[in-house]
Structure 1
Amino acid sequence: MKQRTSPLVKVALGGTNLFVFLFTLSALFPIVWMFYTSLKSNQEFSLSIMSLPSQPTFVNYLNAFEIGNIGSAIFSSVLNTVIPVPLIVLFSFIMGYFFSRIDFKGKRILMLLFLAGMMIPIHALLVPLFVQFKWFGMLDNRFTLILPYIAFHLPVAIFLFDSFIKGISREIEEAAYIDGSSFDRTMFTVILPICLPIMSTVAILSVLGTWNEFSFALVLNKSTELFTLPIWLTFFSGQHTTDYTGKIAGLVITSLPIIVIYLFFSNKIMSGMTAGAVKG
């Protein structure tokens, strides 16, 4: 016989579903609002910021590409994401593997240093890093941001790999050694494929962090051709006026790759984080 659900439980479930629905709606509405507002003119936007566009226009997007020099900003953002992310994944995997499998002198000190890197707010390093880069003549060039981005994302990535690899049975490596596999071959051909879930998590989190970074991109680079997309968005605000709909169109262009990545890979982020937590 089917067990009947009491009215109180039904009310509780209905209230929970309603709360989740309203919460989801509140999270999705800003994105929807941003998309349809980018199709307005500034005059229509000033009359009502919430209403739908009466005459949708793509002129804001055309201006962004023709007037706003967005091509250079896209190239800078892509460059400062495509180069650091693979290096972050590679270095964090190697160091995470060493931390989880090998006992060496200074291991505890290194782990404390990386832990400090997670605890210290990165913006507290903005002025010291600027002074240091100025001293070495590393300011305002195409590759200025790559080293800071790698350094800022390594601590979290290393601890994620360390936690995940600790949950992998050592018998797998011992079997590989018995078959004549070397240390580095075992690490890259046996353990690395097993780490694909956490590798995806590290890569996606690194992409999100480097793509959206603002402060260091603003301070360490001064040439407009080196500005990334978050800095490029400030061009829509002048001393006395702001092109609101143009700026919102720029926000759509900037956030669209991140939204697509999140929609396609959000499950991998969650599964990788959960796997690392459980295995740790």
Structure 2
Amino acid sequence: MINIVPLFWMVVNSFKTEQEYSSGPFSFPKVLQFENYAKAWEIANMNVYFFNSLIITFFSLAVTVLLGALAAYFLARFKFRLQKATYSLFVVGMLIPIHATLIPIFLIMQKIHLLDTYWSLILPYTAFHLSLTVLILEGFMRVLPKDLEESGVMDGAGVYRIFWSIIFPIARPALATVIILNFIYNWNEYLFALVLITSTELKTLPLGLANFVGVETASLTLQMAALTIALIPILIFYLLLQKQLVNGMTAGAVKG
């Protein structure tokens, strides 16, 4: 609840005039200033930044969840020679400080001519979040009963059919967890976008907001309106997946 308080007052102040905010930052607006959002959207050029963030976030999210779910399925449900080594590799991946690799990634992207493109962010986002995605999904899939696959085999289903038709739908609670975690990080990530993206037309929302604060420092209500706009997709995403997330936490508690 404590974390909600500053967010609540940010939203409240985004509907005020500058005079109202100066006279009482913790008071409610007399008249809701919806034009603050229109001004913030236009001045901050958020239509470009918002669209870029949507493309990069959702594409990275889709690739990460797809690859992570497939890798987790084979690690959890099959026995093969390098199973433990492969699992350990994903664990080690979580121990690497992400931003410590920024300079090598910059040089690699420059070498393969992907610098200042969507791919310069999509590929690192996918690589660095794959470990956590695999570990969460593998832990969920490992405890599923073997009877599920046996019934699929008896019906003539192959490995991939069993995965898509049986395992993947059952893993929705765990998928909701990794989707929310990946979405929040990809949507809010700043440092990689700052270093790897230089073109204005390719910049993401965090970069746009940082530039906006520098230009419109005097207009605090417009800044809060812009920050509220950036927060809305996260809230919508969380509300859409909230039920599955709660079910996943409940299932994990029962299994434990």
Q: Establish whether TM, by shorter chain, passes 0.5.
A: yes
CA distance, structure 1, for counterparts of residue 224 and residue 216 of structure 2: 18
The alpha carbon displacement at 1:276 in A equals 4.7
CA distance, structure 2, for counterparts of residue 160 and residue 277 of structure 1: 14
The alpha carbon displacement at 1:158 in A equals 0.5
Check if 1:116 corresponds to 2:87: no
CA distance, structure 2, for counterparts of residue 73 and residue 125 of structure 1: 25
Moved more, 101-110 or 236-245: 236-245
TM norm structure 2: 0.90
The alpha carbon displacement at 1:54 in A equals 4.2
CA distance, structure 2, for counterparts of residue 242 and residue 236 of structure 1: 11
Check if 1:209 corresponds to 2:197: no
Asked if structure 2 preserves the Cα contact closer than 8 Å seen for 1:236 and 1:243, the reply is no
Residue number in structure 2 paired with 1:41: 17
Residue 137 of structure 1 aligns to a residue whose secondary structure is: coil
Alignment of 1:1-280 (within 5 A): 24=1, 26-238=2-214, 241-276=217-252, 279=255
CA distance, structure 1, for counterparts of residue 88 and residue 235 of structure 2: 35
CA distance, structure 1, for counterparts of residue 162 and residue 195 of structure 2: 43
CA distance, structure 1, for counterparts of residue 84 and residue 193 of structure 2: 33
Asked if structure 2 preserves the Cα contact closer than 8 Å seen for 1:39 and 1:245, the reply is yes
**2:12 is aligned with what amino acid?**
Y
For structure 2, the residue ranges without an aligned partner over 5 or more in a row are: none
The alpha carbon displacement at 1:274 in A equals 4.8
Residue number in structure 2 paired with 1:14: none
Q: What is the percentage of aligned positions where both structures have the same residue?
A: 39
CA distance, structure 2, for counterparts of residue 179 and residue 236 of structure 1: 58
Asked if structure 2 preserves the Cα contact closer than 8 Å seen for 1:80 and 1:146, the reply is yes
For structure 1, the residue ranges without an aligned partner over 5 or more in a row are: 1-23
CA distance, structure 2, for counterparts of residue 274 and residue 189 of structure 1: 23
The alpha carbon displacement at 1:95 in A equals 0.4
Asked if structure 1 preserves the Cα contact closer than 8 Å seen for 2:77 and 2:142, the reply is yes
Deviation digits for residues 122-153 of structure 1, max 9, x if unmatched?
12222221122122221111332111111121
Asked if structure 2 preserves the Cα contact closer than 8 Å seen for 1:70 and 1:232, the reply is yes
User: Cα 1:241–1:189, aligned 2, differ >3 Å: closer, same or farther?
Assistant: closer
TM norm structure 1: 0.83
Count of aligned residue pairs for this structure pair: 256
CA distance, structure 2, for counterparts of residue 262 and residue 162 of structure 1: 22
Cα RMSD, aligned residues only: 2.2
Moved more, 270-279 or 100-109: 270-279
Residue 169 of structure 1 aligns to a residue whose secondary structure is: coil
CA distance, structure 1, for counterparts of residue 31 and residue 166 of structure 2: 58
CA distance, structure 1, for counterparts of residue 230 and residue 73 of structure 2: 35
